[in-house]
Amino acid sequence: MISTSSRLLHLLSLLSSRPSWTAGELARRMSITERTVRRDIARLRELGYDVTSDPGRWGGYRLSDGGKQVPLVLDDEESLAVSVALREAAQTGVIGDDQAALSAFLKLRQLLPARVASRLGAMDDVFEHTTRVCGQPLSPGMLAGLARVCRRCERIELAYRNMRGVDSVREVDPYRLVFTGNRWYLVARDVARDTWRTFRADRVVEARPTGRAVSFDDPPDAARFVAEMLTSDYPLYATVRLPLPLADAMRLVPPTAGVHRVDGPDSTIVEVGGQDTESLAIYLVRLGTPLTVLAPGSVREEVRRRALALADSNTVAGAADSPPRPDR
C-alpha cells in the first residue's frame, strides 16, 4: 500500500498538472477511494495549501495559484528526515549533481536544533557508502528537463553520447525516468526505428523539445523494461518462486537484480541473472527467505546443498553452546 506521504505528493502533483479534477477522477488516477481523496484534500489544506472545491456532484478540486505562502515549519522528526534525505542524495546522486544536494544539506545542518544535530551526528558515525558507479555528472537541470518532457508527453531531439563516446542526434518520445540505485535511465520510443529504448541520463548531451505532443497506445512497464535491459547480459539465469506478494518480493529482490511477475496474491516468480551456478546459489541463500528454485536444476541442487550445510553448521554450533543461565 502506498504511504500517506507519497500519496499526498502524488495528489499535489495531479492538482498542479491541470485546472480542475473531480473526486472520482482523482480516485481512479490514484487507485484509491473517493473518501480517501477527500481526506487527503483536507490534509493538504491543514498543511496550508489553498485547495478550493466547487459544490455539487460534478464539482472539482482546484489548487489556487494565488494561495498564501506556507511557512516551512518542521518538527524534529521531519527535520531529521529532510537532512538524511539530502545527505543520501549527495551520496548517491539520485537527483543528479551531488553538489546542490550537499550545499543544501550543509546549510540546513547549521540551522538544526542541537538535539536533532546530535541524532544526525550519531548516524554519520556509523553510516558507510560503497564507491559510486563511475559516470558523467548529471545536473539537476537536465534531470528536471527530462522529467518535464516526460510529463508533457512531448517529442524531443535527443543529442546522446554512447559508451564509445560517439555522438548522435535522434527524435525520441520520452516516457519515464527510472532510477536503479546507481543511475537514471530515460525510457523512450525511438521514432525512426519505432522501438522502445533506454538511454543513460548522464550521457544525454541535450534534449531539445519539439513542441509536438505524442501519445502511447501500449507503453512498457518502465521499471521492468530497465530491469530486463540491465539483466540481459548474464550467462546464467535462475527462476525462483518467492512466497511473497509482488511489492514485498520487489523490496527483497530489487528490479535491478531480477524480473518479477505475479504468481497469485501471495507469490511472485522472479528471474535472477548471475555469472555461474555458485554465485547465483549464494545470492539466493543470502536472501534469507524460503523459496523454490524452479530452474535450472544445477542451481536448485547448489542451493539445496548450501542450505543443508548451513543448517548442519547451526546445529553443531547450537549443541556446543552452554545452556542459558537464569537471570539473577
pLDDT block averages, 10 residues each, the chain of length 328: 65 82 90 90 84 75 64 72 78 65 76 81 65 60 86 94 87 91 86 93 92 92 84 82 92 82 91 88 91 94 90 55 36
6 three-class SS: helix
Segments in the chain forming alpha helices (H): 4-17, 23-30, 34-46, 76-92, 98-111, 114-126, 140-152, 222-230, 246-252, 277-286, 297-320
In a domain, 209, yes or no: yes
Asked, for residue 172, whether it belongs to a domain, the answer is: yes
Residue 291 located in a structural domain: yes
Q: What pLDDT, on a 0 to 100 scale, did the predictor assign at position 117?
A: 81
Give a yes or no: residue 328 inside a domain.
no
Residue 241 sits in the same domain as residue 304: yes
Residue 103 shares a structural domain with residue 155:
no
Task: For residue 12, give the CATH number of its domain.
Answer: 1.10.10.10
Q: Do 147 and 184 lie in a common domain?
A: yes
Contact 299/238 with Cβ under 8 angstroms? yes
Asked if 235 and 312 sit in the same domain, the reply is yes
Q: Which cell numbers hold the place of 223?
A: 521499471
Q: What is the pLDDT of residue 169?
A: 95
Query: Is the residue at 324 inside a domain?
Result: no
118 and 182 share one domain: no
Strand partners for 209: 156
Name the residue with cell 534534449. Answer: 207
Q: Report the domain count for the chain.
A: 4
- What sign results for the dihedral spanned by CA atoms 62, 65, 66, 72? positive
Give domain status of residue 290, yes or no.
yes
> Which residue range forms the structural domain that includes residue 236?
231-316
- Helix or strand or coil: residue 201? helix
Q: What's the pLDDT at 71?
A: 53
Query: Quick one: which of 275, 201, 248, 259 has its CA closest to 225?
Result: 259
* 135 found inside a domain: no
CATH number of domain containing 204: 2.30.30
Q: Does residue 154 sit in the same domain as residue 214? A: yes
Of 203, 137, 220, 216, the closest CA to residue 173 belongs to 216
Residue 37 lies in a domain: yes
One domain, residues 290 and 240: yes
Q: Tell whether pTM > 0.85.
A: no
- 244 and 168 part of one domain: no
Q: Check whether residue 252 and residue 187 sit in a common domain.
A: no
pLDDT at 6: 67
Residue 263 sits in a domain of what CATH number? 3.30.70
